[in-house]
Amino acid sequence: MSEKKISKKKINLGSSRILFTIISVILGLAVGALVLIVAGFDPIEGFRNLFLGVFKSPRHMGWAIVTSTPIIMTGLGVCFAFQTGLFNMGAEGQFIVGTIVAFLVGYKLNLPPLILPLVAIILAMLVGAIYGALAGFVKAKFGIHEVISTIMLNWIAFYLQNFIAYRYKQPNSMGSFDVKDAAKITLFTDAAKRFNGFFSHFFRAPIHWGSILAIVAVIIVWYILNKTSLGYELKAVGLNREASEYGGIDSGKKIVQSMAISGAICALAGVTQVLGFTYNLSVLSSMQNFGFDGLAVSLLASNNPIGVIFSGLFFGSLKYAGNNLQRAMGVPSEIISIIIGTIILFTAIPLVFRIIKAKLKKNKANKKNKKVAVDLSYVTEKIEENKEEVDND
């Protein structure tokens, strides 16, 4: 097949994925409208309030970006693991590990303003990489599926955060003390004095360096996957582990590397969330779902690093606008979860069909190989019988 035909095939495949994603979003919104009607609300008014929840003012737009930033990063981490054929359900735990390191470094260490957040980010990503690599090692060494190990690691991280939050809890509060001012990475805390017009309102939301780091991380991941030998080897393992091993690639090593990089990215989401927005740890009664939202973001983006930016902004905006929907109409914010869940359901349908198709194809190939083996056995048996007859004669 010529290079021109391959390029045209890739463009057509990309266009069909984008089209199906758009259709999935429309169907999800349609289901949301149906739920609003059943609940006795006007769907047009509901979607109007959703729109205003993001675009009513520059400050709302800023808050939508702040809400989107962590799930863009966790979505990117999940996306990277998917490229190696790994299902990283541990993005939530890796995110939590990042928040723990961010708090401990930001609260305990005495370093200059630029150095302290940099040290916190590097250490958080390192610990997140180790946490992710642990699941990859268990998968590569013992064959334990990464879904099981990462889910267990999520709970370890969850209870570890609660332990530390209790240890440094403020009196009469469910949150810890704040990190030092030198550790904070919020861009502008005095936007009204620095800017006029649009930006004076936009930066009243706690826009932080994490939003910029998310874009940088997307570019780096895209480059690694598409322009480096490491990316080629990781994707080769994801497509066919046995074939990649036959080609000389150490698949076990690549699995560990992929989970380590994925864990580092998810931990980056956690450290920037603490240093740029929350500034402390909270005693959690349940998981915050940043990692699971990242899983949805990656699926909607068809595991494309660039697409993660747009799907993350879409989901983050929906989640933030859901608060406005509740305030304006009294609609439960869970309606947003219904819409997001429906969108993911429709997005996952082609993946389900591809899995079924691959399984049927594999079963067909196994039956064919079995038949060939039986035929060869029959031919061998006949040859042996004829040989015995010739020897007897």
- Using one digit for the tens of pLDDT, what is the confidence trace for 199-224? 888 888 899 999 999 999 999 999 99
| Model confidence band, residue 8 (pLDDT cutoffs 50, 70, 90) | low
DSSP for residue 109: -
pLDDT in tens, 86-138: 989 999 999 999 999 999 999 999 999 999 999 999 999 999 999 999 999 99
pLDDT at 107: 95
Q: CB within 8 A of 161, min separation 6: which ones? A: 96, 99, 100, 281, 284
* Helix, coil or strand: residue 211: helix
Return the minimum-mean-pLDDT range out of 252-261, 269-278, 328-337, 363-372: 363-372
Q: How much of the chain, in percent, has pLDDT values that exceed 70? A: 83
pLDDT at 201: 84
Return the minimum-mean-pLDDT range out of 58-62, 107-111, 384-388: 384-388
pLDDT value at 6 more than 50: no
pLDDT at 300: 86
**d(C-alpha 77, C-alpha 294), whole Å:** 8
DSSP for residue 182: G
Higher pLDDT, 21 or 100: 100
**d(C-alpha 277, C-alpha 101), whole Å:** 15
CB neighbourhood size of 335 (10 A): 22
Concatenate the DSSP letters of all residues of 43-82 into one string: HHHHHHHHHHHHHSSHHHHHHHHHHHHHHHHHHHHHHHHH
175 forms beta bridges with: 282
State which amino acid sits at residue 222: W
**d(C-alpha 317, C-alpha 322), whole Å:** 8
